[in-house]
Amino acid sequence: MVCNLRRAGYEICVYTRTKKRADEVLEVGAQWLEDIEDLASRVDILCTMVGYPEDVESVVLGEKGALASMKPGSLLIDFTTSSPELSEKIAQRASAKGVLSLDAPVSGGDIGAKSGTLAIMCGGIDESFTTAEPILQCLGDKIKHFGGSGSGQRVKMSNQILIASTMVGMVESMLYAETAGLKLSDVIELIGKGAAGCWSINNLGPRIVKEDWAPGFYIKHFLKDMRIALEDSKRMGLNLEGLALAQRFYSLADSYDWENDGTQALMKIIRQINAS
């Protein structure tokens, strides 16, 4: 995402907790800064993307977090998939400082990030979205503003709920075909063009055939997203049993040290369940 912003001509300062993780973006001209406070005080638009809601809270709202150093009139865009409640809390704190904020979780994995074709789901006041839109257009080709703070996160939860159940159906379909002795690549090629066609089978199915478990999106982060969705659903009085089933399957990854694999490694989990 940073590389795409550099290609669009933006000047970028970066901070990561582990400097080596920034090597790729430093090579394309981003400037390294030693801490988040220095970065936040310099920029007009600050973008954050970390792992978990607790990381967002620390990086943005902590005693030495970004918000404390941001200039009035600047904009905070949080691309992390996080809690809708936390997004609302950040918006309130930011507004009190005269800072704009936007929750803008993304979907599309490593492929979408590299190609600039992410789906970006936005929540915040109109001024925040209007200010952010030129940057967002460098990162994605499916961008929509859904309303107030937290609404972007809730659209992302809808996205993850759909993916969770789709992944279970996809890998069970592939396991059935595999056990029946069918050639998986041929099965994917055909059913991926019909009514069963979806992003998961057409993009992750071929990785499964190659036994490629490298993460486009980590299982551990998907588990975090499912937890947030279940918690928010409970607050709404909803009982999402399909999502709970997907979470139960994925939670087994921890038993086999697969939590750092990509979500397509659900195939290994389902194989293991059937073998036991």
By annotation, the residues acting in catalysis are: 156
How many domains are there within the chain?
Answer: 2
**Nearest by Cα to 108 from 31, 30, 4:** 4
Which amino acid, 186?
A: D
Judgement on whether residues 248 and 129 belong to the same structural domain of the protein: no
Residue 57 belongs to domain spanning = 2-149
Dig out the tokens for 58 from the structure: 């620390």
Judgement on whether residues 123 and 168 belong to the same structural domain of the protein: no
Judgement on whether residues 48 and 14 belong to the same structural domain of the protein: yes
Judgement on whether residues 63 and 112 belong to the same structural domain of the protein: yes
Question: Residue 121 sits in a domain of what CATH number?
Answer: 3.40.50.720
User: Where is the domain boundary, 127, 149, 171?
Assistant: 149
Q: What's residue 137's pLDDT? A: 98
User: Where is the domain boundary, 103, 122, 149?
Assistant: 149
User: Where is the domain boundary, 149, 176, 211?
Assistant: 149
CA distances from 70 to 1, 109, 258 (A): 22, 29, 39
Judgement on whether residues 69 and 117 belong to the same structural domain of the protein: yes
Judgement on whether residues 138 and 161 belong to the same structural domain of the protein: no
Judgement on whether residues 14 and 134 belong to the same structural domain of the protein: yes
> Which pTM does this prediction carry?
0.91
Residues of the chain with pLDDT under 50: none
Q: What's residue 110's pLDDT? A: 85
Q: Which residues are 77's β-sheet partners?
A: 47, 102
Q: What's residue 9's pLDDT? A: 96
Judgement on whether residues 134 and 208 belong to the same structural domain of the protein: no
Judgement on whether residues 32 and 119 belong to the same structural domain of the protein: yes
C-alpha–C-alpha distance, residues 5 and 139, integer Å? 7
Q: Which residues are 14's β-sheet partners?
A: 32
